[in-house]
Amino acid sequence: MIQSEILNYPVHDVAPYINWIYFFHAWGFQPRFAAIANIHGCDACRASWLTTFSEEERAKAAEAMQLFKEANRVLDRLDSEITIQCIFKLCQANSDQDNLIIEGTNFPLLRQQTPHPNGSPFLCLSDFIRPLSSGIPDIVGLFASSIKGEVEEHYKNDPYKHLLVQTLSDRLAEAATEKMHEYIRKVAWGYAPDESLSIPDLLVEKYQGIRPAVGYPSLPDQSINFLLDELLDMKQIGITITENGAMHPHASVCGMIFAHPASHYFAVGKIGEDQLKDYARRRGMSVEVMRKFLAANLPK
């Protein structure tokens, strides 16, 4: 099993993995307009696609079509100027209540506290890793992806195209993570060697396991980036962490990989003062600092 690896992807390798729904969402389009990405590029097919919209929505659909065309032109230019770098590490780990012990490092996590209407249990990501008491080591994956190149300098004097590059860069970092995760499942970790999924299947997460990124509802604390950086050494792919836990370059993503067949995404949601204080203790940070990082998860 490969324990750690850095991968370099050209734009044309990861562009097929772009989830265009999120790209169009960033531009204020509803998901149905992202379907233009699935349409053959000929004029007849595009014209036929436009007729699927009501007259009231046809102008918006034409706008989406033009945006997609311009996005692809920008991708063609970026292909010769940038690469997307990924790093991952497969680490020995066990759970200890709401913590993970990853290669000797204590990695605190948050647990749901808001009762579910159906009475289902309160979840924490540590639930998907073998407990320390089992005496059997488990594995957790850590990852980061980022754009390598002077992408933030593109079209600085053209606000529209500059924003286009920024939104595409975000999608490319996510797309590279999708491609890397596929490689990890089938080869590096190899827990799903016979997986045979189309890219549309990958984008709706039909694979085994989950890949929550920092900022996802199940991993909402941005200060976790400091812990991930200690374990991954993200500067190897050009990522630095600011004093408030943000990643630079902006078009970067990092998180964790779980292989358990029962693992699934969930939202931590609102937590109480009791968990806030306990989590701050486990993180080795003051309650006041932790309150800033978890503002969205605390009652108003």
Q: In this structure, is residue 108 part of a structural domain?
A: no
Q: In this structure, is residue 290 part of a structural domain?
A: no
Give tens-digit pLDDT for 185-203: 999 999 999 999 999 999 9
Give the C-alpha separation, 242 to 20, whole Å: 29
Give tens-digit pLDDT for 227-254: 999 999 999 999 999 999 999 999 999 9
In sequence order, the β-bridge partners of residue 138 are 93
Name the residue type at position 171: R
List the CATH number of the domain containing 47.
3.40.109.40
pLDDT exceeding 90 applies to what percent of the chain?
Answer: 90
Give the C-alpha separation, 51 to 231, whole Å: 52
Q: In this structure, is residue 51 part of a structural domain?
A: yes
Q: In this structure, is residue 103 part of a structural domain?
A: no
Give the C-alpha separation, 185 to 207, whole Å: 9
Q: Which of 36, 5, 16 is nearest to 172 (CA)?
A: 16
The residues, any chain, with a CB within 8 Å of residue 218's CB and separated by 6 or more, are: 123, 125, 212, 265, 266, 267, 268
Rounded to the nearest 5°, which phi and psi values hold at 24? Answer: -65, -35
Contact indicator for 88, 180 with CB cutoff of 8 Å: yes
Domain of 162 in residue numbering reads as 4-89+124-269
283 or 158, greater pLDDT: 283
Q: In this structure, is residue 277 part of a structural domain?
A: no
Give the C-alpha separation, 166 to 7, whole Å: 22
Give tens-digit pLDDT for 76-132: 999 988 999 999 999 999 999 999 999 999 999 999 999 999 999 999 999 999 999
pLDDT at 252: 96
> Global pTM?
0.94
Number of structural domains found in the chain: 1
pLDDT at 11: 96
